A and B are shown apart, each in its own frame.
Chain A
Amino acid sequence: MAETGQIVEAGQLTRRAVEAISERHGEPRWMREFRLDAFEAFERLPWPTTRDEKWRRTDLSGLKVDELTPFAEAPAGPLPAGLRMTVDAFGAHSGLLVQRNSVAVHADLDGQVRERGVVLADMHQALREQPDLVREHFMRYVRPEKSKFSALHAAFWTGGTFLYVPPHVEVALPLQSYTWIDSERVSIFPHTIIVAGEGSKVTVIDGFGSLTAEYQAFADPIVELALHEGAQVRYVTMQDWGRNVWEVGIIRSALARDATLNSLLVGLGGKLVKADVESVLQGPGASSEMLGLVFGDGRQHYDIQTLQEHAAPHTTSDLLYKNAVKDRATSVFIGMIRVHPGAQKTNAFQVNRNLILSDGAKAISDPKLEIMANDLRCTHGSATSRLNEEHLFYLMSRGLTRAEAVRMVVEGFFAELFERVPLERVGAQLHVAVAAKMTE
């Protein structure tokens, strides 16, 4: 097995490095050119600073991308215990994909599911085996020139998951994908595409984690979900990076007529995490549930910016983000509801609730509206609260220690999310994760 950083050296955010990565994967010409165009955009675009509106709350000056290696081979040997435990904890699945550093190391898909035409592969394999499908969707919903980081991603992407569910196929058990960073001083750029055909139904759990490392690592993932007419997708992304991982990521979904997306973003780990979570309702009757659970501690910084974009009439978006912060952690929630002209009879709901557990912790909430239609129902609300001493006293009067009482209040704070995600194993994992956060 090759050593980390063999084909590209640290700090090489260069045209030559882009070519080397493309060559390493034996890519078709169009992809190589796509990468090189993106690299030009990357070079052209400035690094964001806190003077940019979108970056006002998040200071990236501590991120040393130019000291990190933009491609790292997977280490040899069995899966690390932490990763194996996570995979096992989510239980039965129809398919599983595991990526370590920049490279996929494991892929399996239930035979019966495969026979029905479902494709679950790492993105490079998919590019070799399903070139037309990949080309049709690759960075169609997130354009490389969207930002410095999407351009960087488009130029250097490696790994990620490609899932295609043919029309009218229902996959009973969840498909799971795990991305694990084994090394420090690396950047990873996994690209995930989920295509749900007309009337299909699938659940995807996308997990992210890493070893706890001394030095920085960086993740710049992009996830694109394309839901065709009447498709039903449940997508759970569960991020539990080690404490030295920085992330700037995008999840963007496009929903055709009558498609339904139920998504949940879980943010637990990392040092600094900036995520854009966007759902575009393109066809009448489309419906997007966007749930979020963020729990920051220590000096973690989360900046989640959501977009509920209604581009067609009779569409529904329902967003609930619950962020808890303790110690000196910060959470930023910026939620935009955008309703296009003509997107009448739209329902757009947005709720952000924050719970501050320590004096040094901070939660910022900033809902925004851009409404260009006039016949719609739109509500948005945000509330930030601190621990309620009366609640704690009540619980303590029954014998719970203060710590137990706080844990119970926090679990109660998140309970609504657990209830809205009917995946027992995910709920159980979240309970464990929340309890672990409380004792840290």
Chain B
Amino acid sequence: MADLEIKDLTVQVEDKVILKGANLTLNKGEIHALMGPNGSGKSTLANVLMGNPFYQVVKGGILYKGEDLLAMAPDARARKGLFIAFQYPVSIPGVTMSSFLRTAVSARRGYEKELIPVGEFQKLLKQKLAELPIIEPTIVGRYVNEGFSGGEKKRAEILQMAMLEPEIAIMDETDSGLDIDSVKIVAEGITRMYERANGNMGILVITHYSRILHYIKPSNVHVMFDGRIVVSGGPELAEELEAAGYEGIRSQFEVIAAEVQHEGAVKRAGKVFWVEH
């Protein structure tokens, strides 16, 4: 049983179908990269994994540790160890990071009636901040994402990830909006978290560019095109994409897209495959 199993996921927003039968399997102890051009559906997949009510799943399903993930509310998913670092985290006026983090950590750790004791929380926070030198400690006194720069928002997401110690983490374009030095430091922080979890954390890195993958080494790379994962391979795939861009895949994709339209069934052109369900 895989830890996260996405099967034939078809998702629409209002009347537009965004995911058209996506398949992906991820286990703890693995790092996968999900790449693809803008608008291919990567962020939609991330949001559906977390249960964003804005998206409607019309077909397919997701199993998380054998359970029906789509039947769970977002908070239940989070308490069971699923985490997403959002591409565009929203700001919550008037709510300080520290009170938010303390409430979230309490939820994740199964405190029901009360919150994790202040002392214990402070100790944990101090430890995580020490492990993530890129994060300005004063951030915890500020309102959640309010007035944060793009980079501060991304770093705040990483701090939340560190505090919540997820089992499966989805990083949605965490590298976008960060300069190259920041990408490196954030990636190192994530890698350290992953290593420290000692096989108890799986990560799905969603990215448009391969640069973050120089620092977070994936074992598997998937490429999404037009709502489907059309190529899966090893880390070399990311390097190929870096060299050739998405154009090589796009031309192969267009060839079989035309064929599938005429004939249906399973198609493969070079690396690109397509399963019509």
Contacts and interface: CB of A to CB of B under 8 A. Distances in A.
Interface of A: 388-391, 393-402, 404-405, 408-409, 411-416
18 contacts: A390-B54, A393-B52, A396-B51, A396-B73, A397-B78, A397-B84, A398-B75, A398-B108, A398-B164, A399-B104, A399-B107, A400-B75, A411-B94, A413-B94, A415-B93, A415-B95, A415-B143, A416-B94
A412 B95 contact: yes
Contact of A394 (B92, B93, B103, B143): B92
A109 B107 CA distance: 46
Given A391-B92, A409-B95, A398 B100 contact: yes
A413 B143 CA distance: 12
B108 A394 contact: no
A411 B53 contact: no
Nearest to A418: B94
B51 A397 contact: yes
Nearest to A408: B95
Interface of B: 50-54, 73-75, 77-79, 83-84, 86, 89-90, 92-95, 99-100, 103-104, 107-108, 143, 160, 164
A30 to B, nearest CB: 50
A400 B95 contact: no
A412 B92 CA distance: 7
Contacts of B100: 395, 398, 408
A312 B69 CA distance: 65
Given A393-B74, A398-B104, A415-B143, 5 more contacts: A393-B52, A397-B51, A398-B107, A399-B79, A404-B103
A400 B94 contact: no
Given A409-B92, A412-B95, A415-B94, A400 B86 contact: no
Q: Which of A395, A404, A411 has the most CB of B within 10 A?
A: A395
A265 B99 CA distance: 26
Contact of B90 (A391, A400, A404, A411): A391
A339 B14 CA distance: 50
Nearest to A407: B103
Contacts of B83: 397
A412 B104 contact: no
B166 to A, nearest CB: 10
A400 B99 CA distance: 12
B51 A408 contact: no
Nearest to B82: A397
A404 B107 contact: yes
A399 B92 contact: no
Contact of B75 (A399, A409, A411): A399
B156 to A, nearest CB: 12
Contacts of A389: 53-54
A437 B143 CA distance: 23
Contacts of B77: 397
A48 to B, nearest CB: 37
A391 B74 CA distance: 13
Contacts of A390: 54, 90
A396 B103 CA distance: 11
Contacts of A411: 94-95
Nearest to B95: A412
Q: What are the 9 A-B residue pairs with the smallest beta carbon separation, nearest first?
A: A412-B94, A415-B94, A399-B107, A399-B78, A398-B104, A412-B95, A396-B74, A396-B75, A399-B79
Contacts of B78: 396-399
Nearest to B84: A397
Nearest to A398: B104
A415 B98 CA distance: 14
A277 B144 CA distance: 34
A412 B103 contact: no
A401 B90 contact: no
A394 B90 contact: yes
A402 B93 CA distance: 17
A404 B115 CA distance: 12
B84 A400 contact: no
A28 to B, nearest CB: 51
A412 B145 CA distance: 13
Contacts of B92: 391, 394-395, 408-409, 412
Contacts of A401: 75, 107
Q: Which of A397, A401, A413 has the most CB of B within 10 A?
A: A397
A409 B52 CA distance: 18
Contacts of B93: 412-413, 415
A393 B90 CA distance: 10
A365 to B, nearest CB: 18
B48 to A, nearest CB: 12
Q: Which of A389, A390, A400, A416 has the most CB of B within 10 A?
A: A400
B116 to A, nearest CB: 12
B140 to A, nearest CB: 14
B89 A400 contact: no
B108 A399 contact: yes
B53 A393 contact: yes
Contacts of A393: 50-54, 74
A397 B95 contact: no
A408 B51 CA distance: 20
A399 B50 CA distance: 11
Nearest to B108: A399
Contact of B86 (A394, A405, A409, A416): A394
